[in-house]
Amino acid sequence: MKKTRRFVALLLAAVLALALFTACGAAEQPQSAIGKVYEDWFVEQINSKRPGKPVQKVDVKHSEMRTALAKISEDGKFKARDGGDHEANGCGFGESWYWMILSDPIALNVSGESTVEAVKLTLENLTQYGPAYFVDKKQLSRIDEYDIVTHVMDDKTYVAVYLHLEEAKS
């Protein structure tokens, strides 16, 4: 845990130093510094469960996630129906994919019309929302593709995560 914290702190310092040299006014919103640290840590966690076969970044649902993140209101809330999508085959053992805005997953499943509060990603809470937050720990080795999209509003970073799980090996 201490090594992870040191790694995250060092990575954040490097990202922030590089951010000083970037140009402003890009057409597409760049990933926040905390978002980059989160993605690097997230991928490291998945790859530790997939020795020899690293997870691949894809942009299958990237635009849908970006659109959903843009619907988060100034108070950090959104309609649950806007917060995710999924396709699951084989009762959890077949190939499946899903994406969701980082929030309370139980609240997303209650009602499509309910209002849900998005998680504001910070250095203090980013390790609470690793791959095991989305997938049962026994299934982590099945994650073969991912995407992470961030949205910064009023200095708050919101995140949507896409995961693809390959079919379980018999």
Render pLDDT for 104-133 as a digit per residue (tens, 0 to 9): 766 656 555 788 899 999 989 989 999 988
In this prediction, residue 139 carries a pLDDT of 86
DSSP 19-60: HTTSPS--SSPPPPHHHHHHHHHHHHHHHTTSTTS--EE--T
Distance between CA atoms of residues 7 and 170, nearest Å: 36
Distance between CA atoms of residues 80 and 100, nearest Å: 10
pTM for the whole structure: 0.76
Q: Residue 134 — φ and ψ, nearest 5°?
A: -95, -30
Tell whether the model's pLDDT for residue 44 goes beyond 80: yes
Distance between CA atoms of residues 116 and 155, nearest Å: 20
Q: What are the tokens at 150? A: 């961030």
Distance between CA atoms of residues 7 and 13, nearest Å: 10
Is the CATH code 3.40.33 the one for domain 2-165?
yes
Among the residue ranges 46-50, 87-91, 114-118, 163-167, the one predicted with the least confidence is 87-91
Cβ contact 81:113 at 8 Å: yes
Tell whether the model's pLDDT for residue 151 goes beyond 90: yes
